[in-house]
Amino acid sequence: MPPSPAASPSPAPSTNPEHTRQLRRVAFSGLLGTAVEFYDFLVYGTVAALVFGELFFPGADPAVGTIAAFGTFAAGYVARPVGGILFGHFGDRLGRKSMLLLTMGLMGGASFLIGLLPTYDAIGVWAPVLLITLRVLQGIAIGGEWGGATLMVVEHAGERRRGLWSSFTQMGAPLGSLISAAVVALVSTLPKDQFTAWGWRVPFLLSVVLLGVGLFVRLKVVESPLFAEVKKDRAEARLPILDVLRRPRPVLLACCVGIGAFTAQSLLTSYLIAYATGIGYARPQVLTALTVSAAVALVVLPCASTLSDRVGRRPVVLAGAVLSAATAFPVLALVDSKSPGALILAVVLGHGIAQSLMYGPLGALFSEMFGTRVRYTGASLGYQGATLVGAGFSPMIAGSLVAGSGNSTPVALLLCGGSLITALTVWFVRETSRTSISGTAADISGTPHTEEITA
């Protein structure tokens, strides 16, 4: 394992009451805003598994329709790196806060319009075209959301507890999943014909309410202090993406470190709905398992992130990756048992615990890998690249392979493979939990921060 850089002195946490209040406000804004964005993004995957095949891709074999529906799901992930680059550029040039307001508005608007879309029976081929277009807009929005929300918290947090405070943003994903699963479970109690006719629209239309609450909270936070200092010293215009790609190793490492977490997330949430209902589980049973898993993740994520402040980011991520790989086949065997209790255990173990251990420290880790001038772009590109590779295509690949093999072995192999990529990559990453993010600390590749290189 490569040696860690020498720890830099860590200043004592601020005792300024106003700073503490602002930090809490920023953390709550990150939690709520990210939850709203992930609710909008993940509710699509849930509904796609249930009805999008027949509503937007009719006339196809049911398996083909499901694969086509997950193809539009993948389109959102393909767009996420574009959003990371776009909003990262302006976030590094103009500020974090304004980009967060824009991403939330774009996501909420796209989700609301999906709830209003006519189906294939009403407008023909334009229905899937419009669905894919709105899904791409969702992907662009969430591609810019995570980086800005995470950096706002990390750059307000000081040096000692970046993992703990960044966990609030990380908790937005399971909280959004919890809300989306609960809402879809509620509307799924409708008779099948009513759910297919109009019930599926309700979760998307509700996003406008969540959007209003999220925007209200975000308007009250102040800009990142580290960005404000860097903006004062900016002497010339830069293209952050070119600065980041000039030394691509940190981005590539970040992408590979995140693959395991996002492979587990997509296979054990969105794809699991289609797979489990296909082998005989009732929809409420599957949604209950996802709800329990999300609740467990809300506990494990802050614990894992806080632990990473004490023992380092790498050991926690590595532990999650090893656990995920070791339990991949047992988890799918539990799902295949067709026992509702075993299904809950499987999702809690694979997603609520193992995936959360991998995912929890990523907010702080990715933020610590880049200098302030390019942090939004670099962290977003690494994170969204990981989601594209790990989550974007996994459900579609799994659906195709399961349709051909008739068993869950391909799903277990994909889950195990993604986790092993994370475990192997962690060995090439330097520990960053004790380095400063405001000065001259080295990045995880052992070279100076990108902002130093390009200064």
Q: Is the pLDDT of residue 443 over 50?
A: no
- Distance separating alpha carbons of residues 118 and 412, to the nearest angstrom: 37
Q: Which residue type, as a one-letter code, is found at position 274?
A: A
* Dihedral angle of Cα 270, 308, 166, 242, to the nearest 10 degrees: -90
Task: Give the three-state DSSP class for 296.
Answer: helix
pLDDT band at 59 (very low <50, low <70, confident <90, very high): low
Average pLDDT over residues 288-297: 91
Using the structure block, give the residue that is written with the tokens 């990473």: 308
Q: Do 260 and 358 form a contact (C-beta atoms < 8 A)?
A: yes
Instruction: Select, from the ranges 248-257, 274-283, 387-396, the one with the highest average predicted confidence (pLDDT).
Output: 248-257
Residue 204: half-sphere exposure toward Cβ, Cα within 13 Å: 22
pLDDT tens digits, 143-163? 888 888 888 888 888 777 888
Q: What is the pLDDT of residue 112?
A: 92
Burial of 175 (0-12, 13-18, 19+ CB in 10 A): buried
Q: Is residue 244 exposed (0-12), middle (13-18) or buried (19+ Cβ within 10 Å)? A: buried
Extract the tokens encoding 440: 């001259």
Using alpha carbons, select from 254, 242, 384, 364 the residue that is nearest to residue 302: 364
pLDDT bucket at 273, cuts 50 / 70 / 90: confident
Token couple for 200: 């599926």
Q: What is the mean pLDDT of residues 396-401?
A: 85
Q: Write down the pLDDT at residue 60.
A: 59
407, pLDDT greater than 90: no
**pLDDT category, 309, cuts 50, 70, 90?**
very high
Residue 2: the pLDDT is 46
Higher pLDDT pick, 119 / 76: 119
Task: Record the pTM.
Answer: 0.80
Task: Let me know: does 386 contact 419? Beta carbons within 8 Å.
Answer: no
Whether residue 10 has pLDDT greater than 90: no
Please give the pLDDT value at position 15: 52
Task: Give 344-364 pLDDT, tens digit per residue.
Answer: 999 999 999 999 999 999 999
From the CA atom positions of the chain, what is the Rg in Å?
21
Question: Per-residue pLDDT for 417 more than 50?
Answer: yes
To 5 degrees, how large is the angle CA 258–CA 262–CA 265?
Answer: 145
Cα–chain-centroid distance for residue 320? 16
Out of 14-18, 205-209, 251-255, give the one with best mean pLDDT. 251-255
Q: How sure is the predictor about 16, in pLDDT bands with cuts at 50, 70 and 90?
A: low
DSSP code per residue over 389-414: IIIISHHHHHHHHHHHHSSSHHHHHH
**CA-to-CA separations, 312 to 309, 380, 444, in angstroms, rounded:** 6, 21, 13
Q: For the residues 70-97, what does the mean pLDDT come to?
A: 81
Determine which of 2-6, 133-137, 395-399, 403-407 has the lowest per-residue pLDDT on average. Answer: 2-6
Query: What integer best gives the mean pLDDT of the chain?
Result: 83
The DSSP secondary-structure symbol of 201 reads G
| CB 184, CB 287: distance < 8 Å | yes
- Compute the average pLDDT of residues 233-252: 78
Q: What is the pLDDT of residue 73?
A: 63
Scan for tokens 């509503």, then name that residue: 55
Listed in sequence order, the residues at least 6 apart from 319 whose beta carbon sits closer than 8 Å to its beta carbon are 357
Angle between helices 17-47 and 270-278 in degrees, nearest 10: 30
Residues 248-262: what's their mean pLDDT? Answer: 94
